[in-house]
Structure 1
Amino acid sequence: MALGLVCSAAFAAEVRLKDVSHVEARGVDVRVFRADASEPLFGSVAKTGDGVVFTAALPLVAGESYRVEIKSADGSWSERRLKFSLPAAAAPTVGISPVPTQLPANALKLYLQFSQPMEQGVFLERISLHQQDGSVVQGAFRETELWSPDGRRLTLWLHPGRQKTGVNLNSDEGPVLQEKQKYSLRIAPSWRSAQGVELGKEAVFALTAGAVDHATPNPGRWQIRVPQAGTRDPLKVTFDEPLDPAMLASALKVRCAEADVAGTVALALDARTWYFIPAEPWVAGKGAIIVDPLLEDLAGNNLLGPFEVDRDVPVNPVEVRPLSFEIGK
């Protein structure tokens, strides 16, 4: 049995297993665990010739150890361990967040995630938004170029002057996205990494515009799944809508016994699920998730109020309370 680990464009990873033709692609005969966690990672299993591919729902972490369990033909389980390491520098790849990319028609931003630091100052020459008939949406993006410190993530702003109703550009040119319409975001193959290597082929991402969203995120509709004491299984929060994936990396903090809990955060690719993995095993007792009130949804509405505000209507103050949970023994 051979194992391989492949980094995809969206930084989710595929665990490839060869010479295991007896394994069925049911998702129950192959399990992948983080280190010694008791619960397997979320993902899907598919047959590929004489083997199978496990595609993780969450990004794997470089340097972290993973445990792969395969059910043998006789019903017993065998185990292999591996570590995820970044591939050698080659042509860069690019993914989009969130995935799948269904946006409210008044969405404000997307994120492009590259496998390598990219050349900067050229994004308006390298990116275009197209309608379903292939025509280009002119003036779709704000000219602000905002990169993450490592040069790999680009915040792509849909022009707020067109996306916000009642302002001049919106009235004169109309919004960037029209409800119920489909679009494609195209990334030019000539975009180079900081090392001068081109993407080499055009990347195309399908976008769909849904209904406009003027409602503030509501933590009362979020669902929390609580782990057991003594484990390092993740604390899971599921949102009722996609939230800003870049903000989610730091907008929620976990507190137990009146002290912040150290750990790492992971996000599902659709930006609807947040995971917190503690540095040390959970201790039984009450805890809380502290939410930054400035956390936004994809349309820029935060917990304190909507992005678009009628100045003639008084805004009532909003109290954002911690989300309580309890770790059982």
Structure 2
Amino acid sequence: MKRWLSILSLVCSAAFAAEVRVNESGQIEAHGRDVRVFRGDASQPLFGSVVKTSDSVCFAAALPLAPGETYRIEIQTADGAWSTQRLKFKLPAAVAPTVSITPSPTMLPANALKLYLHFTQPMEQGVFLDRITLQRQDGKEVRGAFRETELWSPDGKRLTLWLHPGRQKTGVNLNLDEGPVLQEGRQHTLRIAASWRSTTGVALGKEAVFALAAGAVDHTCPNPLRWQITAPKAGTRDPLVVRFDEPLDPSMLVSALKAQRGEGEVAGVVSVAADARTWSFTPVVGWTPGACVLKIDPLLEDLAGNNLLGPFEVDRDAPAKAAATTTLSFKVGG
């Protein structure tokens, strides 16, 4: 219902000035002693409730107003006379969704495991393998590039795009038979079909093209001791900023780092840069001076799936070397 309120309010304010408006609850308000609302040229008014005040009246329809329908509003003025206004519930113009990618710019280790596609609207599901194509530098398609698992965010706007682990992990059958998805030192192109539609049936309308550069493979665990912390000043709501020496999983970063004072977690809002190399935290209230700790989820991954506990690929002959710490200290200065 709320999607239509702004449209209806706009039409009312333009046509009837201050005489009629629609409030945030979808109720019709008018200056006068009474109001009746009719659908089109119907002889019987809509069912609903009417609440009167000293100089205005509010009508709440029993059923939501219908988009595209014309309504007749009869208002009784202070002198007892009735005036009639008409309005049309206009349908909004269809807006095509757009898509972006993280991390961006997209420089990946050759053994990268996943990317994230971000859409501005919820998208149709179950079709992503037919809508996404990965091409090599020579223009040839990389067939079987993606894992068939389709993982969407709850709002249907973010797709986790898995590069097939069986091809990205060295020594397994798919890797040996078909080769890795990404070729080290080469450029690749990710294409999103223009025909991919939102859940409302509106297509992207234009093919989205993203360049992917593949660097060296990465089998090293993230190391927080190489991160740079910029501490805020006391009495401000300046962000706590952490800069990484490599891109980390942008989705996991939203919840993997926690600012803590004593035993309590500091409340605030997290922001992750598009390149996944910078994490920022803005507190709800101003910082107080003193020592704080940044707690790190040891499962936090880099783009190749290595986390603080060990690398994604385990060498049985060489024990995994985990990160040296899962906490970092910082001090809020005066």
Q: Structure 2 length normalisation: TM-score?
A: 0.71
* Cα distance change on mapping 1:241 and 1:200 into 2, 3 Å: same
Map of 1:99 onto structure 2: 104
AA partner of residue 200 (structure 1): G
* Cα distance change on mapping 1:290 and 1:89 into 2, 3 Å: farther
* Cα distance change on mapping 1:116 and 1:280 into 2, 3 Å: same
Map of 1:327 onto structure 2: 332
Map of 2:307 onto structure 1: 302
Map of 1:250 onto structure 2: 255
Map of 1:267 onto structure 2: 272
Map of 2:75 onto structure 1: none
Deviations 1:129-181 (A, max 9, x none): 01122110011000000001110000000000000000000000000011110
* Cα distance change on mapping 1:183 and 1:125 into 2, 3 Å: same
Map of 1:165 onto structure 2: 170
1:233 has 2:233 as partner = no
* Cα distance change on mapping 1:90 and 1:107 into 2, 3 Å: same
SS of residue paired to 2:125: coil
Q: In structure 2, how many angstroms separate the alpha carbons of the residues matched to 1:110 and 1:192?
A: 20
- Kindly state the Cα deviation for residue 318 of structure 1 after the two structures are TM-superposed: 5.4
SS of residue paired to 2:174: helix
- Return the match for 1:129 from 116, 128, 134: 134
Q: In structure 2, how many angstroms separate the alpha carbons of the residues matched to 1:156 and 1:299?
A: 13
- Kindly state the Cα deviation for residue 315 of structure 1 after the two structures are TM-superposed: 3.7
- Return the match for 2:289 from 279, 284, 287: 284
Q: In structure 2, how many angstroms separate the alpha carbons of the residues matched to 1:107 and 1:113?
A: 18
Aligned ranges 1:189-208 → 2 under 5 Å: 189-208=194-213
Deviations 1:249-290 (A, max 9, x none): 000001013210000000111000000000000000110100
* Cα distance change on mapping 1:175 and 1:266 into 2, 3 Å: same
AA partner of residue 288 (structure 1): V
Q: In structure 2, how many angstroms separate the alpha carbons of the residues matched to 1:130 and 1:317?
A: 35
Q: In structure 1, how many angstroms separate the alpha carbons of the residues matched to 2:241 and 2:172?
A: 39
* Cα distance change on mapping 1:88 and 1:278 into 2, 3 Å: farther
- Kindly state the Cα deviation for residue 89 of structure 1 after the two structures are TM-superposed: 6.3
Deviations 1:73-128 (A, max 9, x none): xxxxxxxxxxxxxx986100000000000100000000000001000000000000
Query: Unaligned 5+ residue runs, structure 1?
Result: 1-86
- Return the match for 2:119 from 114, 123, 134: 114
AA partner of residue 282 (structure 1): W
Q: In structure 2, how many angstroms separate the alpha carbons of the residues matched to 1:176 and 1:269?
A: 23
- Return the match for 2:181 from 172, 176, 182: 176
AA partner of residue 116 (structure 1): Q
Map of 1:215 onto structure 2: 220
Which of 317-326 and 143-152 deviates more?
317-326
- Kindly state the Cα deviation for residue 317 of structure 1 after the two structures are TM-superposed: 6.2
Q: In structure 1, how many angstroms separate the alpha carbons of the residues matched to 2:280 and 2:320?
A: 33
CA RMSD of aligned residues (A): 1.4
Map of 1:26 onto structure 2: none
Deviations 1:32-70 (A, max 9, x none): xxxxxxxxxxxxxxxxxxxxxxxxxxxxxxxxxxxxxxx
* Cα distance change on mapping 1:326 and 1:88 into 2, 3 Å: farther
SS of residue paired to 1:283: coil
Aligned length, in residue pairs: 243
Query: Unaligned 5+ residue runs, structure 2?
Result: 1-91
Map of 2:152 onto structure 1: 147
AA partner of residue 112 (structure 2): A
Q: In structure 2, how many angstroms separate the alpha carbons of the residues matched to 1:158 and 1:284?
A: 45
AA partner of residue 263 (structure 2): E
Q: Structure 1 length normalisation: TM-score?
A: 0.72
> Percent identity between the aligned chains?
71
Q: In structure 1, how many angstroms separate the alpha carbons of the residues matched to 2:229 and 2:322?
A: 26
AA partner of residue 304 (structure 1): L
AA partner of residue 189 (structure 2): S
